[in-house]
Amino acid sequence: MGSAELQQSQTNRKKVFKPTDLSIKDFNGRVPSYLHQPNTPLGLYYFVRDLFCVGAFWYLGTLIDPLSSHLAKLGFSSAALITRWTLWPLYWFFQSLAMSALWVLGHECGHRAFSSSQAVCDAVGYVCHSFTGTPYFSWKITHHVHHSFHGSYERDSHHIPKTRSELGIPPEAPGKAVNYSEFIEDTPIYTISMLLVHQLIGFPLFLATNLGGQRSFPAFSSHYNPWATALFKPSQRFAIVASDIGIFSVIMACVYSSKFYGWLAVWKYYIIPWLGVNHWIMVIVYLQHTDPEIPHYRSGEWTYVRGAACTVDRPLLGELGRIFFHDVAHFHVAHHLFPRMPFYHTEEATKIIKEILGDHYLYHERYWIPNLLHSFQSCQFVEDEGQILFYKDKNGEAAVEVVGESN
């Protein structure tokens, strides 16, 4: 995995990090302008394709219980049970991917990378995000803040590390060891429980309560609150209300459907895949911004390019991920540098970006499950002092040593 001039230190075996001095001008001169141009017909093709996948998987899902019942009537009770408990998880897996594809297209729309028409972007994005449980305009606004200040400890909008003092951990002092186990819970049951909460409802909790966002924001800094002044301007309140109406419409559609088909059917066909969407969002976004080798910058060291390089490209789910995640995981560094670049151009742009960034380009090939567990356990806190921050683990150790930091 590359990093900003990461080398093995001969003294303590830690990797050594020196921040880049590149500017966005170094990239603008080499990335062709046509890579920034969205193709509306192509974007609409992907929208229709993803809608078709959702509909096709939904239809196939309606065949599972009748098939199982038919096998049971024929006397194959074991086969019926196996069929039901094999095909439903398969449906949930693939439907969660198809719905995630729509969510990623909504993300593209929020950046106006889907079409040159703002109206087309907002119409498609509103449908995609409302259906997948995200308030479109609300998240579009705060996500723009993230892309304006990615990697900034003070100004980024999400995945802000907790500090030593926030966890109540005393500072290290010569001759005085800190027992980190007194402050950091790492039992297997606790880790698994927190990981499940993180993966299934972590994103909805962030939207509803700002969990994981800037902790200086006042209470009720919710994406559903039009009067959340830390997140939105007064002129944006109508957009927030419109976002809430989209989410409320989907909730009412679930309630209405439950009266005809029962809540069990609503859970099987929609809610469980929706939880899967939340899971994939957290896999993608968490691993893109949380890693022992990803820095965070305080204001004295932050620049746009340094912040843009604070993410990792990874081939999540291989070709399956490219189909359903629209390259948002495979080529995220390019997206950080050029958020309005359509996803179908980021692969070509990444080839150029890698040459410019050199060792500052971050890439992981590790499978996502061990990668997720590793980051979840290793990224515990950052120090209260310093301008360039790297996560420390449950033993108070950082994987990276910083050099070249200004005072």
108-147 confidence digits (pLDDT tens): 999 999 999 999 999 999 999 999 999 999 999 999 999 9
CB count within 10 Å of CB 295 equals: 25
User: What pLDDT was estimated at residue 6?
Assistant: 47
Averaged pLDDT of the chain: 93
The token pair at 234 is: 């007064």
Q: What is the mean pLDDT of residues 176-203?
A: 90
Two tokens, residue 322: 């490219």
Total Cβ atoms within 10 A of residue 341 = 22
Q: Does 7 have pLDDT greater than 50?
A: no
Query: Where are any strands of DSSP class E within 275-366?
Result: 296-297
Q: What is the mean pLDDT of residues 249-274?
A: 97
Which two structure tokens, joined as six digits, stand for 36? 């920034």
| Residue written as token pair 């990378």 | 113
Count of residues in the chain = 407
User: What is the spatial distance between Cα 320 and Cα 308, in angstroms, rounded to a whole number?
Assistant: 26
Instruction: Count CB neighbours of 253 within 10 A.
Output: 13
pLDDT at residue 8, as a whole number? 45
Q: What is the mean pLDDT of residues 73-97?
A: 96
- Given a cut of 80, is residue 4 above it in pLDDT? no
Inform me whether the pLDDT recorded for 391 exceeds 60.
Answer: yes
Asked if residue 10 has pLDDT above 50, the reply is no
d(CA 113, CA 105): 9
pTM, 2 dp: 0.93
CB within 8 Å of 126: residues ≥ 6 apart: 106, 136, 137, 242, 246
Model confidence at 407, pLDDT cuts 50, 70, 90, reads low
Contact 169, 178 (CB under 8 A): yes
The confidence band for 202, taking pLDDT boundaries of 50, 70 and 90, is: very high
